[in-house]
Amino acid sequence: MNVSDAKPSPLNIFLILSFTIPFSIYMATLAPSVTFFDSGEFITAASSLGSAHSPGYPLFLMYSKLFSWIPLGNIAFRINVATAFSSSLACLMVYLLTTELLKRKNGLTENNFNRIAVKFAGLAAALSFAVTPRLWLQSNHDKPYPLLAFIAAIIFYILLKWQDEYRAGVERPSYIYVCTFLAGMSMGIHQTIVLLLPAWFVMIIITDWRMITRVKELVLATAFAMLGFSVHLYLPLRALTNPLLNWGDSKTLEQFLWHFLRKGYPAEPPVRNVSLLWAQIKAFSITHEFTWLGAAMLAIGLCFLWRNCRVVFTAFVVSVASFLLVIVGYFNTPMEVIFLTEEFFTPLYLLSAVIIGTGLFTIFSYAVSKATMPEHFGFKLYSLLFLLFFSFPSLLCALNYYENDQHDNYIAFDYAANSLRSLPENAIMFTWGDSGAFPLWYLQGIERLREDIDLPHTPHLVFEWYLDSMPRLFKNSNLRKYDIASFGPESALRAAVAENIGSRPVYIDFSTRYSIDFRDYQPVQKGIVYCIRKINEPSGLPDISLWDNYITRGIIDKQSFLDLDTGKAILIYANSYLEAGEFFAGINRHQEADVMLKKAALVSPEMSASIEQIRQRYGLGQ
């Protein structure tokens, strides 16, 4: 047959829908600007092509930078779109992997109806993964894990294709080289990709164990992995240009290794006990992501894989084991930061969605075999197909939509803007805590708001590279005369305050106010920030006029999305109102006190008991 006679492949509408439906959902619920946690830092680093916190995330930053050129919305919104896009690509890979696995069942695609049913199962699996709480949460603002899951899924898909070629008698070592290149490159997204290496190794060994004995192929595979890993050259190359955010300053090999190996996060592992171990294990929760119904379908899917594709069954079990052994066993994550590890399991949830897709198809096949239907595939059978496959993703969507709708989430933006508006010209404000600092970095560095202000981050004052990044403040600082690594951030803060309090207005944020004992200084409330004055100076009154200029979207009129840090921000507003109200009550200015206490009650009704105690103590009416 001539090439001109070959028919083009029909457009796969199911494949397109597996991307476009999740992307539409994410765009409808996308955060319109910066959010809390790492958001402000990632957006600032991506937009300026700098370096984020260890290990730097070079590939994720370069990928996100492309979206900063979209002529739509602010920079934060555009980079949020980048994660929505990568999450949708991950959902597309769920479709491809699910349909690929179902094709391995003998005789499954011999008629048109079964071929359509396989595509419906793939689409249902993709949509189910799309609306799981973990992926949906990550997809609405900037996160690297969906992109990592997407590349991990590509590697699994290529290995399945390599296995098919090998069983057909064709050697394709180039497939393995592509996989090792992608694995090395994806280290530039997040280092947890290494936890999937045992699963991929098992897939290769089960298929062709002799491959590990062929030196040439091993050398080439290693070379391609190193070529992919070379994406990390971004860090020293960009550090040489002194970008806006240059975490770790990786100009030298020593600083690069310090940054890449996360040496800035030393921590003593906690004493392990049963409750801690159980909390660590629960960080990976199929039932939370897919419900108990999803867990049951996962079990059915694993039975399908055991019968039809044991290499994938084994790879999944090995993946789960390696993640838990390293994250739970080796890291021994402290209780207070276990929530950070929950995002690491995103690639495992992608594989789980694929297996659930095979379970959905198995249930459907059983239902059809037991149903009384005419021999031809009529409307009733197609209706049953649609109902069985899409009831589950619809259920997940209904359960998780409210908690993941961020389309009106301006709380972090407003918190940072209000903090900056509270400060006088040429002020210094010390921050404590990533969530409080990062939105400020974004507004000042990218939105160019209040560039006259210096915003030193207290935990970083112990690093030489950080002092170098703020020459206006620390070029001739006494901090450089000490061993700042052992100095401690609290001592560094006090020294920095002492150096500047006589020449510039010095402020601290709410977290710093309640994290450090200032001894020789008194914090004076100015809205949601505090002015630092010497202990022997008159303190003055809290400046409540600032509140009139604050924008508090989502604070009193509650929004749906309330993660841990967003909830803390709301409590900061409530406590600031409460603190001002108590102060005014104490000096018999009852009208101002009443206004502040009523606002505290509106922001946080949970404080009603504390508010009532203050009213009774100072004789205030309701």
Residues contacting residue 45 through CB under 8 Å, at least 6 positions apart:
51, 52, 57, 61, 243, 245, 247
Q: What tokens does 222 get? A: 């290693």
**Residue 559: pLDDT over 50:** yes
Instruction: Please indicate, yes or no, whether residues 69 and 209 belong to a single structural domain of this protein.
Output: yes
Q: What pLDDT band is residue 384 in, cutting at 50, 70 and 90?
A: low
Q: What pLDDT band is residue 285 in, cutting at 50, 70 and 90?
A: very high
**Residue 7: pLDDT over 70:** no
**Residue 3: pLDDT over 50:** no
pTM of the model: 0.91
Instruction: Please indicate, yes or no, whether residues 115 and 196 belong to a single structural domain of this protein.
Output: yes
Range of the domain at 444: 421-542
Residues contacting residue 229 through CB under 8 Å, at least 6 positions apart:
184, 185, 187, 188
Looking at residue 1, its pLDDT comes to 39
Looking at residue 338, its pLDDT comes to 80
Residue 13, domain member (yes or no): no
Q: What pLDDT band is residue 378 in, cutting at 50, 70 and 90?
A: low
| 403-449 pLDDT tens trace | 888 888 899 999 999 999 889 999 999 999 887 899 999 999 999 99
Instruction: Please indicate, yes or no, whether residues 167 and 312 belong to a single structural domain of this protein.
Output: yes
Q: How many residues does the chain have?
A: 622
Residue 15, domain member (yes or no): no
Instruction: Please indicate, yes or no, whether residues 488 and 586 belong to a single structural domain of this protein.
Output: no
Q: What tokens does 55 get? A: 């290990």
Spatial distance between the Cα atoms of 446 and 469, rounded to a whole number of angstroms = 17
Residue 8, domain member (yes or no): no
Amino acid at 517: D
**Closest Cα to residue 352, out of 312, 310, 395, 306?**
312
Residue 21, domain member (yes or no): no
Instruction: Please indicate, yes or no, whether residues 257 and 397 belong to a single structural domain of this protein.
Output: yes
Query: For 134, what's the count of Cα atoms within 13 Å in the CB-facing half-sphere?
Result: 28
**Closest Cα to residue 577, out of 602, 597, 548?**
597
| 484-536 pLDDT tens trace | 767 788 888 888 888 898 889 999 999 888 888 877 888 888 889 999 988 87
Give the DSSP H or E segment for 94.
Answer: helix 75-102
Lowest-confidence pick of 250-259, 266-275, 556-565 = 556-565
Do 584 and 543 form a contact (C-beta atoms < 8 A)? no
Looking at residue 296, its pLDDT comes to 94
Instruction: Please indicate, yes or no, whether residues 590 and 518 belong to a single structural domain of this protein.
Output: no
| 74-88 pLDDT tens trace | 999 999 999 999 999
| 452-498 pLDDT tens trace | 999 999 989 888 899 988 988 988 888 887 777 677 888 888 888 88
Which carries the bigger pLDDT value, residue 59 or residue 104?
A: 59
Mean pLDDT for 603-611 is 87
Instruction: Tabulate helix, strand, coil % of the chain (nearest 5).
Output: 65, 5, 30
Residue 14, domain member (yes or no): no
Instruction: Please indicate, yes or no, whether residues 428 and 375 belong to a single structural domain of this protein.
Output: no
Positive or negative, the CA dihedral 363, 366, 371, 375 is positive
Instruction: Please indicate, yes or no, whether residues 536 and 620 belong to a single structural domain of this protein.
Output: no
| 221-236 pLDDT tens trace | 999 999 999 999 999 9
**Residue 385: pLDDT over 80:** no
Instruction: Please indicate, yes or no, whether residues 110 and 136 belong to a single structural domain of this protein.
Output: yes
Lowest-confidence pick of 44-58, 431-445, 559-573 = 559-573
Q: 164 in helix, strand or coil?
A: helix
Do 332 and 272 form a contact (C-beta atoms < 8 A)? yes
The residues pairing with 525 across neighbouring beta strands, listed in sequence order, are 530
Residues contacting residue 466 through CB under 8 Å, at least 6 positions apart:
457, 460
Instruction: Please indicate, yes or no, whether residues 559 and 521 belong to a single structural domain of this protein.
Output: no
Residues contacting residue 385 through CB under 8 Å, at least 6 positions apart:
116, 117, 120, 364
Which of 502, 517, 542 is the last residue in one of the domains? 542
Chain position carrying tokens 């399945």:
160
Looking at residue 169, its pLDDT comes to 85
Looking at residue 6, its pLDDT comes to 47
**Residue 621: pLDDT over 70:** no
Average pLDDT of the chain is: 87
| 180-195 pLDDT tens trace | 999 999 999 999 999 9
Tell me which DSSP letter residue 330 carries. I
Tell me which DSSP letter residue 521 carries. E
Please classify residue 198 by burial: count the beta carbons closer than 10 Å to its beta carbon, then call 0-12 exposed, 13-18 middle and 19+ buried.
middle
Which of 377, 404, 431 is the last residue in one of the domains? 404
Q: What tokens does 137 get? A: 């949460």
Mean pLDDT for 251-280 is 84
| 316-344 pLDDT tens trace | 999 999 999 988 877 788 887 788 888 89
Residue 412, domain member (yes or no): no
Q: What pLDDT band is residue 30 in, cutting at 50, 70 and 90?
A: very high
Which of 369, 404, 439 is the last residue in one of the domains? 404
Domain total of the chain: 3
Give the DSSP H or E segment for 41.
Answer: helix 39-47
Spatial distance between the Cα atoms of 200 and 102, rounded to a whole number of angstroms = 20
Instruction: Please indicate, yes or no, whether residues 476 and 569 belong to a single structural domain of this protein.
Output: no
Residues contacting residue 389 through CB under 8 Å, at least 6 positions apart:
120, 121, 123, 124, 360, 364
Residue 37, domain member (yes or no): yes
| 94-134 pLDDT tens trace | 999 999 999 887 655 566 777 888 898 999 999 999 999 99
Spatial distance between the Cα atoms of 527 and 545, rounded to a whole number of angstroms = 8
Q: What pLDDT band is residue 620 in, cutting at 50, 70 and 90?
A: confident
Instruction: Please indicate, yes or no, whether residues 336 and 233 belong to a single structural domain of this protein.
Output: yes
**Closest Cα to residue 402, out of 138, 136, 141, 139?**
136
Looking at residue 587, its pLDDT comes to 87
Residue 23, domain member (yes or no): no
